C-alpha cells in the first residue's frame, strides 16, 4: 500500500519549500492535486499528480544525512538573510536543515538532513538519545562541582536530568546529556557560578567527529544510519516524546499521575557514586575510557 502523507509535508519533502510555505501556497490556490484544489490537511501519495502554479512537483530527492563539524561563529539557522547561517556555510546543492542546534559560540558535531521524521524522533526530549560534550570553564572545578552537575540543577523552570559527568582537567570536563534545553550546559554552569569558555559537542548517539576538522562535513555511513534507525525505531515523534517529567507545574496545570508532590525537585544531600564509576554514569550503553577526551588549554 502506498504511504499517505499530508500535502504540506509531501511538498516540503521534495525540497520545494517548507511546510509553512506550502500551507500558504495551498491557501492561495496555487496547488492542485489530480486537477482539483485541495483542502488543508489532504493526504497524498506518490501516485497523485501535484501541480504548483500549473507546473509538476519534482520527485522527492534521495534522503540526505550529513555530519558537520560546526565552527564557532556559524549560526544554526536556515535563514539565508543571516550571513553566518549553517546552510550557506556547508553550501550543499540540495535543501537541507539542521537537527537541533549548537549556539553560535559553540562548536562540534551537528546533523543535517532533508528528512523531517528523523528530526522529530532524535530531538524529542523523552527519547533519551545521548549527546556528549567537552567543556572548559573560567576557573578550576572540583568534585563538588562534578557531583552537582551530574545530580540535576534547577534551570528554566525544571530540574535537569541526572547525567554522566567526568572531570578531564583542572578546568575541563565531559558531560553526556539526553536533554536539549536551551543553552543547557551554559545555564547549569552559570547556576554554580562558572562561565563556559569553550564548548564542543563530540558525539551524537553512535556518531562522533571522526577526525572532521572545523568546517568539514561528511555523509553518514550506511552502518551509522542502520544503528541510528535501530535506536529510534521505538522513539516517539509526537508530543508524548517531548514531555519532561521534571518540568514544574504551574497553578493551572493538571497534576501528572506519576508526580509526587511530597518530594523536593532534587536531593539536597550528597550524591552517591558507585565504586570505580564516575558520578551519574548511565547503567547502559558503550563503555567509556576515562581521560580520553580533553580540551587544549
The verdict on whether 244 is a catalytic residue reads no
**Dihedral angle computed from the Cα positions of residues 19, 23, 24 and 27, in that order, rounded to the nearest 10 degrees:** 170
DSSP alpha helices (H): ranges in the chain? 7-13, 19-27, 86-90, 116-123, 143-151, 184-191, 222-231
Residues 6+ apart with CB under 8 A from 69: 107, 108, 109, 209, 212, 213, 214, 215, 216, 217
Cβ neighbours of 185 (radius 10 Å): 21
Paired residues of 55 in beta bridges = 52
Output the nine-digit C-alpha cell for 156.
528554566
**Catalytic, out of 23, 46, 53, 103:** 103
Q: Which three cell numbers stand for residue 106?
A: 559553540
Q: What are phi and psi of 68, to 5 degrees?
A: -130, 135
DSSP 289: -
Say how far apart CA 265 and CA 259 lie, in whole Å.
11
Return d(Cα 3, Cα 199) in angstroms, integer: 42
> What amino acid positions are annotated as catalytic residues?
103
Amino acid at each position: 500500500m502506498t504511504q499517505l502523507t499530508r500535502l504540506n509535508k509531501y511538498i516540503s519533502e521534495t525540497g520545494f519549500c517548507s511546510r509553512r510555505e506550502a500551507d500558504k501556497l495551498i491557501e492561495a490556490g496555487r496547488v492542485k492535486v489530480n486537477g482539483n484544489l485541495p483542502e488543508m490537511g489532504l493526504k497524498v501519495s506518490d501516485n497523485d499528480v501535484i501541480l504548483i502554479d500549473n507546473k509538476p512537483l519534482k520527485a522527492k530527492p534521495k534522503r540526505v544525512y550529513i555530519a558537520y563539524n560546526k565552527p564557532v561563529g556559524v549560526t544554526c539557522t536556515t535563514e539565508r538573510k543571516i550571513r553566518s547561517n549553517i546552510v550557506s556555510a556547508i553550501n550543499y546543492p540540495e535543501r537541507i536543515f539542521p537537527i537541533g542546534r549548537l549556539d553560535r559560540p559553540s562548536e562540534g558535531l551537528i546533523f543535517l538532513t532533508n528528512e523531517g521524521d528523523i528530526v522529530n524522533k532524535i530531538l524529542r526530549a523523552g527519547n533519551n538519545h545521548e549527546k556528549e560534550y567537552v567543556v572548559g570553564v573560567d576557573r578550576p572545578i572540583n568534585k563538588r562541582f562534578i557531583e552537582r552537575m551530574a545530580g540535576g540543577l534547577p534551570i528554566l523552570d525544571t530540574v535537569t536530568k541526572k547525567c554522566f559527568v567526568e572531570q578531564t582537567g583542572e578546568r575541563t570536563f565531559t558531560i553526556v546529556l539526553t536533554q536539549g534545553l536551551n543553552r543547557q550546559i551554559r545555564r547549569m554552569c552559570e547556576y554554580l557560578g562558572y562561565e563556559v569558555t569553550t564548548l564542543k559537542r563530540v558525539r551524537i548517539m553512535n556518531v562522533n567527529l571522526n577526525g572532521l576538522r572545523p568546517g568539514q562535513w561528511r555523509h553518514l555511513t550506511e552502518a551509522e544510519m542502520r544503528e541510528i534507525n535501530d535506536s529510534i525505531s521505538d522513539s516517539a515523534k509526537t508530543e508524548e516524546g517531548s514531555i519532561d517529567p521534571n518540568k514544574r507545574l504551574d497553578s493551572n496545570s493538571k497534576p501528572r499521575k506519576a508526580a509526587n508532590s511530597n518530594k523536593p525537585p532534587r536531593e539536597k544531600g550528597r550524591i552517591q557514586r558507585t565504586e570505580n564509576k564516575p558520578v551519574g554514569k548511565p547503567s547502559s550503553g558503550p563503555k567509556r575510557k576515562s581521560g580520553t577526551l580533553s580540551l587544549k588549554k
